[in-house]
Amino acid sequence: MEESISHNAGKVLLKIYLIYTKENKLPDFKELSTQSGLDENKLMRALDYCHDKHFIELKVTKFLGGNSMYDIRRITSEGIDIIEASAERPEEKRPFNITFNFNNEFNVESIIKGEAKLF
């Protein structure tokens, strides 16, 4: 089953967050493509989704011929909040899981701690 744009966007946002918090830098498009295993089109759609939701600041430069260059400028406070926010009650889903259509088994906390594989 092919993953949805929102699933890929959630994974990409987490990858950006992890690189930002562990390496104190923002990944470039090529690095994200390599680490995520997503093809360019899927990665562009995921980044556009995160940008449209105001989770990242993104600069897109379009060239003649249809090519585009994606430059991640920063992860926003909304992006950090959606990752770090826990469920209000134990029986509820985390806001991250709801936004990116993940079931309860997608454990954001263990990914942040490095105990689970993201891609």
> Which one-letter amino acid corresponds to residue 78?
E
For the chain, the residue count is 119
pLDDT at 104: 64
pLDDT at 110: 83
Q: With CA atoms as reference, report the closest residue to 18 among 6, 2, 35.
A: 35
pTM of the model: 0.89
Helices (H), the chain: 5-23, 29-36, 40-52, 77-84, 95-99, 108-112
Assign domain 5-104 one CATH number from 1.10.30.50, 3.30.1330.120, 1.10.10.10, 1.20.59.20: 1.10.10.10
Residues of the chain with pLDDT under 70: 1-2, 104-105
Give residue limits of the domains in the chain: 5-104
pLDDT at 1: 42
Helices (H) then strands (E): counts for the chain: 6, 2
